[in-house]
Amino acid sequence: MKHLALILVSTAVLALPVGAVHAQQSNAKKPAATAKKAPAKKAAPAKKRVAPKTAKAVEANTPVQSPTTRLTEAELAIAQRVHTGRIQCELGADINVTADEKNPGFFHVAAGGQRFYMHPVESRTGAIRLEDNRAQAMMLQLGNKSMVMSQKLGQRVADECQSSEQKTFAEQMKKSGGPGLLDSAPQK
């Protein structure tokens, strides 16, 4: 009788783990079976987004290649002519253009709630053109006004912005009528 009780207890102990494994296998099969019934949809790959503020800080502080070495001599010369500081715009708005001390030729531009990290680009017209390729934005500085545009959105972020030098130039244009269409371009 003792032997029979021992056999029953050992069989029960051995059967317990096998039953637990069998239960896990049957549970694992159930979700797979329901997955087969549902139509298969391709899941879009999850994009890990970095905050723009963080990305710009990383780019500005740890560039792969020094940004200054990426600029040509002509672009560095353009950077010397960029109007900086707080520039008043239409409707009481303003932009703030600050030179990047770590990377000569690069500028931090704040327009409203948007921030850009811009560099000069040569233009055929002689206008000062700054671009932020990541944010797809650009800033044009003409003799009499500046504007910031979002190429991504296709609209102006700030318009009719004038530094003190641009205001003076605009007043001179009003008084003298400005250069004519057929007048020669100023020599540099």
- Residue-wise pLDDT for 47-91, tens only, equals 677 787 777 776 666 554 555 558 889 999 999 999 999 999 888
Structure tokens belonging to residue 45 = 């790959």
Q: Which CATH class is domain 52-176?
A: mainly beta
Q: Any idea which residue has 């770590």 for tokens?
A: 102
CA distances from 86 to 97, 121, 122, 130 (A): 6, 22, 24, 16
CA atoms of 84 and 109, how far apart (whole Å): 9
Handedness of CA 66, 71, 72, 73 (dihedral sign): negative
Q: What is the pLDDT of residue 96?
A: 93
Three-state secondary-structure class, residue 115: strand
pTM of the model: 0.57
97 exposed, middle or buried (CB, 10 Å; 0-12, 13-18, 19+)? buried
Domain ranges of the chain: 52-176
Q: How would residue 129 be classed by pLDDT, with cut points 50, 70 and 90?
A: very high
CA atoms of 105 and 75, how far apart (whole Å): 8
For the chain, first and last CA: distance in Å?
115
24-45: per-residue pLDDT in tens? Answer: 555 555 555 555 555 556 665 6
